[in-house]
Amino acid sequence: MSWSKLKQQLESFLCPALYGRGEYRATSYRYLPDKSGICYIAVDKKNVLNMSDITSSIRWYQSEQEIKNDPDIQVPINKEEIEAVRKDTKGIVPEDRLW
C-alpha cells in the first residue's frame, strides 16, 4: 500500500476536532538505504509522537502533558461528544481522559 493511501486511512480515524490539525508524516532517505526514515504524528505542526525513537513512549507522555497544559492549543469538545464517547466505550475511559 502506498504511503498516501495509508495516510488517508489513518487520517480518517481522527476525531472531528482534529481534522486539518493532526497529521501523520513520514520521511525517507532516498540515497541512504542503510538509514531508516522518520515517522511521526504532529498536531498543529508540533511533533507529538516520533515512532522511530526508542524512547517514544516516554516522550509521548511528556508531549501529552505539554499539550494538555498549553493554553494556545484548544480542542473544542462539547458535552454531546463526550457523552457519545462514554456511551460508545461503555464508560471504560477515565474521566480525566475525556476532557
Query: Structure pTM?
Result: 0.47
> Nearest 5°: phi and psi at 7?
-60, -45
Q: How many helices (H) and strands (E) does the chain have?
A: 4, 3
- Determine the pLDDT at residue 60: 58
CA distance 72 to 74: 6
Residue pair 79/73 in contact (Cβ under 8 Å)? The answer is: no
Asked if 41 contacts 23 with a C-beta cutoff of 8 angstroms, the reply is yes
d(CA 1, CA 72): 36
Confidence of residue 85 (pLDDT cuts 50, 70, 90): confident
In the predicted model, is pLDDT for residue 18 greater than 70? Answer: yes
How confident is the model over 9-13, as a mean pLDDT? 84
Q: How confident is the model at residue 1 (pLDDT cuts 50, 70, 90)?
A: confident
Assigned C-alpha cell, 89: 466505550
Distance CA 79, CA 99 (A): 10
Give residue-wise pLDDT tens across range 32-65.
666 667 788 888 888 887 876 666 555 555 677 7
Amino acid at 44: D
